[in-house]
Amino acid sequence: MKNSPVIRVAGVTDAPEVSRLLKSAMLTYCADSGISSSMLEAMTESVESVADRISRQTCLVAICNNSIVGTICIKKVDNPLIYSFSEKTYGFLKEAGLSFYISRFAVRQRFRKTGLGIDLMSKALDTARGEGARTILLHSAATNKNMVEFYGKRGFELIDSENSRGYMRGLFADTLTYDQQ
Rounded distance between C-alpha atoms, residue 104 and residue 74, angstroms: 9
* Residues of the chain where predicted confidence (pLDDT) is lower than 50: 1
Kindly list the distances between the CA atom of residue 149 and the CA atoms of 46, 60, 141, in Å, as whole numbers in the listed order: 30, 22, 12
Domains of the chain (ranges; CATH) run 6-175 (3.40.630.30)
Rounded distance between C-alpha atoms, residue 44 and residue 65, angstroms: 28
Phi and psi based region of residue 53 (left: phi greater than 0; alpha: psi -120 to 50; beta: remaining): alpha
Confidence at residue 39, expressed as pLDDT on a 0 to 100 scale: 86
Confidence at residue 68, expressed as pLDDT on a 0 to 100 scale: 98
Nearest CA among 131, 72, 154, 128 for reference residue 105? 72
pTM score, whole prediction: 0.93
Q: 133 in helix, strand or coil? A: coil
Rounded distance between C-alpha atoms, residue 138 and residue 147, angstroms: 11
Confidence at residue 177, expressed as pLDDT on a 0 to 100 scale: 73
